[in-house]
């Protein structure tokens, strides 16, 4: 990391916003950031108040809020209904700028032969959960921790044999096979190039290695990246202790700032 200037933490950023009226663009990972990681992806349920909080925040930020997730956007929408906002899904393989419109695909679905091969590689452990998301295939090993090493080796070899067509992404208790040319960082850059995000200071909050490209993209644009403890980031180094701390901070950010005669945001 190459950050020599002291940077404000989450509390400092709230102060900065109050003092300077800093216009923020907010990017939020979903699982492990806005809600606790569930035993399986399907079991994740948005906690009470989260959908209302996101709607309130999005309005407070002039629409400059996007959830940036490894899930497909359609899956995200189901879990956050009735909230529907700007979003990047499948690690940036799909992007929806305007909530009223369809998501734009940034990458084609993987060839069906990839799924066949991954199913074959994962056959050694029946508790591995294979999730086909079209532009990516996730293999979750949360229920089969002892399978991690062999799975990583098998997938690494498979990706190497693809000669550049595929890459392997590591997340919390999951490996993911994806094509090239997209990432959460690329998605963030796309959002920042267009209104209502452009010209604002980007802030990304994430809990995983897969969020790092987006965190770096924020820092490169003079913004901030905040981390959430729970798996990848150590508790003594992360900015937030867990998703409940993130939600409490977001609620403060959404609340109308107490101003003494200043301009409205
Ligand atoms: Mg996450």
Q: Rounded to the nearest whole angstrom, what is the distance from the C-alpha of residue 58 to the centroid of ligand 1?
A: 20
Does the pLDDT of residue 3 top 80, yes or no?
Answer: no
What percent of the chain has a predicted confidence (pLDDT) above 90? 83
| Residue 211 is among the residues annotated as catalytic for this protein | no
Distance of CA 85 to the CA centre of its chain: 14
Q: Rounded to the nearest whole angstrom, what is the distance from the C-alpha of residue 92 to the centroid of ligand 1?
A: 14
Q: Rounded to the nearest whole angstrom, what is the distance from the C-alpha of residue 32 to the centroid of ligand 1?
A: 4
Query: CA of 69: how far to CAs of 183, 211, 251, 257, in Å?
Result: 10, 9, 20, 29
pLDDT for position 140: 96
- The alpha-carbon radius of gyration of the chain (Å, integer) is 19
CATH code for 10-107+182-254?
Answer: 3.40.50.1000
- Residue 265: pLDDT band (50, 70, 90) is very low
Query: CA of 41: how far to CAs of 8, 44, 165, 189, 216, in Å?
Result: 33, 6, 26, 27, 26
Q: Rounded to the nearest whole angstrom, what is the distance from the C-alpha of residue 207 to the centroid of ligand 1?
A: 5
Beta strands in the chain (DSSP E): 24-28, 65-68, 86-89, 94-96, 104-105, 129-132, 136-140, 166-171, 174-179, 201-206, 224-227
pLDDT for position 220: 95
Catalytic residue among 15, 29, 111, 211: 29
Annotation: CATH topology of 112-179: Alpha-Beta Plaits (3.30.70)
pLDDT for position 22: 73
* Model confidence, pTM: 0.91
Mean pLDDT score of the chain, rounded to an integer? 91
Q: What is the mean pLDDT of residues 189-205?
A: 96
Domain ranges of the chain: 10-107+182-254, 112-179
Does the pLDDT of residue 159 top 70, yes or no?
Answer: yes
Among candidates 138, 122, 116, which has minimal Cα distance to 70? 138
What is the edge-to-edge ordering of all strands in the sheet holding 94-96?
104-105, 94-96, 86-89, 65-68, 24-28, 201-206, 224-227
């Amino acid at each position: 990391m190459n950050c020599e200037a002291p940077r404000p933490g989450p509390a400092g950023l709230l102060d900065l916003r109050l003092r300077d009226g800093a216009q923020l663009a907010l990017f939020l990972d979903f699982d492990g950031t806005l809600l606790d990681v569930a035993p399986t992806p399907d079991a994740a349920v948005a906690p009470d108040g989260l959908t209302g909080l996101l709607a309130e925040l999005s309005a407070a930020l002039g629409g400059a809020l996007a959830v940036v997730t490894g899930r497909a956007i359609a899956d995200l929408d189901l879990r956050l209904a009735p909230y529907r906002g700007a979003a990047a899904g499948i690690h940036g393989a799909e992007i929806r700028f305007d909530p009223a419109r369809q998501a734009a695909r940034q990458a084609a679905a993987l060839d069906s032969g990839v799924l066949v091969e991954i199913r074959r590689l994962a056959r050694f452990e029946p508790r591995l959960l294979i999730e086909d998301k079209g532009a990516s295939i996730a293999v979750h090993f949360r229920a089969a921790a002892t399978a991690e090493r062999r799975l990583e080796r098998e997938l690494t070899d498979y990706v190497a044999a693809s000669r550049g067509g595929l890459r392997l992404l590591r997340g919390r208790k999951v490996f993911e096979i994806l094509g090239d040319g997209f990432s959460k960082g690329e998605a963030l850059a796309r959002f920042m190039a267009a209104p209502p995000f452009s010209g604002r200071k980007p802030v990304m909050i994430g809990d995983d290695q897969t969020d790092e490209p987006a965190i770096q993209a924020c820092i490169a644009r003079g913004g901030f990246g905040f981390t959430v403890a729970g798996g990848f980031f150590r508790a003594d180094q992360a900015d937030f202790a867990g998703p409940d701390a993130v939600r409490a901070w977001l609620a403060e950010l959404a609340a109308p700032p107490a101003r003494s005669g200043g301009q409205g945001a």
